[in-house]
Structure 1
Amino acid sequence: MSMKIAADERETSSSKMEEVKVREYDEERHKMEVEKLEKLCEVGQRGKPSLLTDLMGDPICRIRHFHLHLMLVAEYGEGEVVGVIRGCVKTVTKGNSSLHIKLAYILGLRVSPLHRRYGIGTKLVEHLEEWCKQKGANYAYMATDCTNEPSLNLFTKKCGYSKFRTLTMLVQPVHAHYKPISSKIAMLRLPVRLAESMYNYIFANSEFYPKDMDVILSNKLNLGTFIAIPKKNMTKFDLKMGTRLLDEWMPWLRLPSFPDVFRPFGVYCLFGLHMEGKYGKQLMKGLCGLVHNMARDDGGCGAIVAELGLRDPVREAVPHWTKFSWAEDMWCIKNLDKKCEPSDWLTSKSSSPVIFVDPRDF
């Protein structure tokens, strides 16, 4: 009897898969169906509070910040959307060298709870990978919580991905009160071109640093690049002193002009975090406090998020709530290019503890 049931299940699964068609997302045709599917799936991914899900925003829109992006849907029967997946292709560093590679990022995979275990997720991944290959991607990666066994099993056991890097997602809710900031710290906002030069220098040997950093910094959603330095004898209008301090701390910046000082700012996602020197930890906490206070005045901001590598020293300085944070965010990767030697990145350890998390990936 059990053999007959198993055979019937395989036949049903095969029949259902034949009726599933993978198509490119059409906003006019699929928008309402996709929204319906999203509601059917778990709202709080990985068992985390919905506050974080709300903060990340609409995943349909997120990939549009990349030049090369695609969204696919799986249709069943009379056009019912039973699955969706998003992906993009970008150029990033591999770490340990200045070489760049084309990397695909796969995200937002959803399959209707009523249509799971029929291979729809695998079919969507395979179609998206094929598009990524056509766009020249050498590798593809995805991110999920280390406890998300269904997702890990799909990608590592069925789709050929390997566990690659582990990161921590740090989340701090925005409180009703302001955080105190030391009067000994000065905050400076950098012009975009100067910020780009700084990032290119600091993160040259990190992993996943995007080649199009200028696009990120110029995006209307980016609220600025800020650094904190010890104020010492610096007054609010003593811009010259601020510039000399920068020259002393980071002479490679070669400041072309005086940046704005004490301009308040706020972001939802902290990225490109870096600290150094004797007061690095204290200064980083000061920056995080400033972000929090601006977020407190912004009614649309519920939390401040930063994702960092487990070996990144900045982790010790970023305030967060453990119950809202992921202990381990697992990144899995796959070699899409047969010409690339798998050992050249997949099996190597980066000499840098820093993994650059693209804010467009959230």
Structure 2
Amino acid sequence: MSLKIAAEVYPKSPTERVEEPLVAVREYDEERHKVAVEKLERLCEVGQRGKPTLVTDLMGDPICRIRHFQLHVMLVAEYGEEGEVVGVIRGCVKTVTRGNSVYVKLAYLLGLRVSPRHRRFGIGTKLVQHLEEWCKQKGAKYAYMATDCTNEPSINLFTKKCGYSKFRTLSILVQPVHAHYKPISSSVAVLHLPPLLAVPMYNHIFANSEFYPKDIELILSNKLNLGTFMAIPRKYMSKCDPKRGILPPSFAMLSVWNTKEVFKLQVKGVSTLAHACCVGTRLLDEWMPWLRIPSFPDIFRPFGIYFLYGLHMEGKCGTHLMKCLCAFVHNMAREDGGCGAIVAEMGQRDPVRDSVPHWSKFSWAEDMWCIKNLEDIPKKCGPSHCFPSRSSSPVIFVDPRDF
């Protein structure tokens, strides 16, 4: 499929304006577009001169970030007769809760990139519009995107040109992986829950949350999922039986998603002094682990992350148990030499948020989610971007496939 769009061309005469079809939007073809898309991704991630840059390196096919959704697509924008790839966008469609156990089909738009030399020609807008049409054909009622609150060009594109509205603001919490193990209290036991047990528990816990995916079983059974874990007071071990739904008065649980097979990150452009300080803390931590120095991981080489999702805790010991679970995952990541950080994304009012260890300098508090109603609704019906019902829960379930 393709879509011709018009780019404005300005000749020497300031009063003369002509339009010429220059760009076609097409579905991604691996053999034809893979090399060009990879080049475009690298080109768009070059940061400001003299400032650190976080570079994302997709592993394998550029479509790998959305491959784990049953309904997904990637579109490219080709320029000129030679078909130069100047833009790309990805999207998927899934069924999620909108609150109060009500499900709706929702599209997620991500990975919009436009070549710096071809910006301000409306290419990004047309990519979004064409992807929205594909999502509507797949039954999506709403579409949403996420970006850092400081990314004004992206926010302006979606809110001012594409009709999206600011919807939720989440926090991304990042905990570096140190050289030493984190201690776990001997009074705490960590259980590994198979998907057969984790699915019904999650269905019950997150029934009233927003964005909880209906295909949670596929997520928990995915090869990238490293497991679902529950921390309980050890004194309740003999009385706890998750198979029969018998749980202790206090527990915490979460699942771990391994992004290493999808993408790796790398920080470039730091000063020599900053690089030396970071290396120094890690060397001291390795040589004298008893000092428990909060060392800085080696983020100057490609590294993967573990993403925590499905975080939940109950009871008066819930905070302590959640911290023990996070320490357990940290120790898992430490044994995995290629993992540099543990990441969780949570709503501002999520009760678990303050129990997740993180470094404030690594984390950022405002990940902006914007949403749009893809159906044609008369203005008298009210704001078309809002979910028809609002959740009574402050919890937003972040799908690990979105990250």
TM-score range, shorter chain: 0.7 to 0.9
Label 1:44 to 1:54 Cα distance change in 2 as closer, same or farther (>3 A).
farther
Could you say which structure has the higher strand fraction? 2
Tell me which residue corresponds to 2:84.
80
The 3-state SS of whatever aligns with 2:314 is coil
**Deviation, structure 1 residue 180:** 1.1
Q: Which moved more, 1:155-164 or 1:291-300?
A: 291-300
1:195 aligns with 2:206: no
Tell me which residue corresponds to 2:108.
105
1:346 aligns with 2:397: no
Contact 1:266-1:290 within 8 A present in 2 as well: no
**Deviation, structure 1 residue 325:** 1.2
Tell me which residue corresponds to 1:311.
349
The 3-state SS of whatever aligns with 1:64 is coil
* Selected match of 2:30 from 17, 24, 27: 27
Tell me which residue corresponds to 2:293.
none
Tell me which residue corresponds to 1:361.
402
**Deviation, structure 1 residue 86:** 0.2
Contact 1:94-1:345 within 8 A present in 2 as well: no
CA–CA separation in structure 2 for the residues paired with 1:7 and 1:89: 46
Contact 1:55-1:302 within 8 A present in 2 as well: no
Contact 1:166-1:309 within 8 A present in 2 as well: yes
Q: CA RMSD in A?
A: 2.8
Q: How does 1:256-267 map to 2 (within 5 A)?
A: 267=258
Label 1:6 to 1:224 Cα distance change in 2 as closer, same or farther (>3 A).
farther
* Selected match of 1:94 from 98, 102, 114: 98
CA–CA separation in structure 1 for the residues paired with 2:154 and 2:72: 22
1:291 aligns with 2:329: yes
Any gaps of 5 or more consecutive residues in structure 1?
235-239, 252-264
The 3-state SS of whatever aligns with 1:177 is coil
Tell me which residue corresponds to 1:142.
145
Q: How does 1:32-71 map to 2 (within 5 A)?
A: 32-42=35-45, 50=54, 53=56, 60-71=63-74
Tell me which residue corresponds to 2:178.
175
CA–CA separation in structure 1 for the residues paired with 2:52 and 2:171: 14
**Deviation, structure 1 residue 248:** 4.3
* Paired letter, 1:247: I
Contact 1:111-1:121 within 8 A present in 2 as well: yes
Tell me which residue corresponds to 1:249.
248
After superposition, give the CA deviation of every residue in 1:78-122 in whole Å (9 maximum; x if it has no partner): 111000000000000001x22111000000000001111110000
Tell me which residue corresponds to 1:274.
312
**Deviation, structure 1 residue 60:** 2.5
Q: How does 1:152-167 map to 2 (within 5 A)?
A: 152-167=155-170
The 3-state SS of whatever aligns with 2:88 is strand
TM-score (norm 1): 0.85
Tell me which residue corresponds to 1:261.
none
CA–CA separation in structure 2 for the residues paired with 1:196 and 1:203: 11
Contact 1:75-1:83 within 8 A present in 2 as well: yes
* Paired letter, 2:91: G
Contact 1:74-1:124 within 8 A present in 2 as well: yes
Contact 1:21-1:75 within 8 A present in 2 as well: yes
CA–CA separation in structure 2 for the residues paired with 1:317 and 1:243: 25
CA–CA separation in structure 2 for the residues paired with 1:21 and 1:9: 27
CA–CA separation in structure 1 for the residues paired with 2:155 and 2:91: 17
* Paired letter, 1:346: C
Label 1:345 to 1:21 Cα distance change in 2 as closer, same or farther (>3 A).
closer
Tell me which residue corresponds to 1:254.
none
1:327 aligns with 2:392: no
CA–CA separation in structure 2 for the residues paired with 1:154 and 1:132: 19
Tell me which residue corresponds to 1:256.
none
State the identity %. 72
Any gaps of 5 or more consecutive residues in structure 2?
1-9, 251-255, 259-305
Could you say which structure has the higher helix fraction? 1
Tell me which residue corresponds to 1:227.
230
After superposition, give the CA deviation of every residue in 1:51-100 in whole Å (9 maximum; x if it has no partner): 7x4599976201110111000000001111000000000000001x2211
CA–CA separation in structure 2 for the residues paired with 1:222 and 1:266: 5
| Count of residue pairs brought into register by the alignment | 335
* Selected match of 2:118 from 106, 115, 132: 115
Contact 1:90-1:210 within 8 A present in 2 as well: yes
CA–CA separation in structure 1 for the residues paired with 2:155 and 2:143: 15
Label 1:36 to 1:241 Cα distance change in 2 as closer, same or farther (>3 A).
same
CA–CA separation in structure 2 for the residues paired with 1:56 and 1:278: 42
